Amino acid sequence: MFPHLREDIASIIKRDPAARNAWEVLTCYPGLQAIAIHRAARWCWMHGLKWLGRFISHIGRILTGIEIHPGATIGRRVFIDHGFGVVIGETAEIGDDCTIYQGVTLGGTSLNKGAKRHPTLAPGVIVGAGAKILGAFTVGEGAKVGSNAVVLKEVPPGATAVGNPARITQKAEGAAGDDAAARVFSAYGITPDADDPLSKALRGLINHAAAQEHQLKSILTALESAGIPCEEVPEAEKVDSNHLNKLVG
């Protein structure tokens, strides 16, 4: 029933700098304990002992503060860090080597019994604290979900989802996050240059407007130098790109 406990412990020691030894992880990490209890609950669930599976799951919730439905599928070396307030629904699927922080919800948005209602996390996904992933879609392999994001649609492999509702940013080729260590673990889903994509778009528009203003001034100066009269128009308010960029973050 617990064939992967040893590698789960080794995985936690590898990914958490606060973990000092196997005994400490086994006795003091609620995420590991919740997954071990879930395996017992799921065994009962899959063998027709539905009530017993739910009851074991309920005991696990009381002991660890982590609620995992016995019908959920959890892969190998999954690390639920801190874990308090994590909720994983019945048809959720979590791939190998995923990392989930406290306050995460893998929830469903449908009342259809027997249907797939909860999300699927592909291998290597990192979900930051407080994030909500709601619906029967897939978060692609190696993707990251930022803290407090509300994800309502599919996330492509390697992408990052941030905001409420979440917006998707694709990782640039050859970006800093491509190294092997970053693929194994990224604390709280934080990545270099992980600005909100909406803020990036607004900054781009602001800088473009400032560049156009400069170009128009250059054109008017050139026309006047060539003796071509330009109709006098009231001078518009200048674009302060630095001030506007600070406002949008």
Give the other-Cβ count within 10 Å of 123's Cβ.
17
Q: What is the pTM assigned to this prediction?
A: 0.74
pLDDT in tens, 120-144: 999 999 999 999 999 999 999 999 9
- Report the distance separating Cα 182 and Cα 176, nearest Å: 9
150: amino acid identity, one letter: V
For the record, the structure tokens of 104 come out as 């995460």
Encode pLDDT of 220-246 as tens digits. Answer: 778 778 777 776 656 666 666 676 666
For range 144-170, the mean pLDDT: 90
Strands ordered across the beta sheet of 160-162: 79-80, 99-100, 126-127, 144-145, 160-162, 167-169
Sequence length of the chain is 249
Query: Pseudo-torsion of CA 16, 18, 23, 25, nearest 10°?
Result: -50
DSSP label of 155 = B
pLDDT digits (tens, 9 = 90+) for 14-62: 988 889 999 999 999 999 999 999 999 999 999 999 999 999 999 999 9
* Cα–Cα distance, 54 to 224 (Å, whole number): 82
Identify the residue with better confidence: 63 or 211.
63
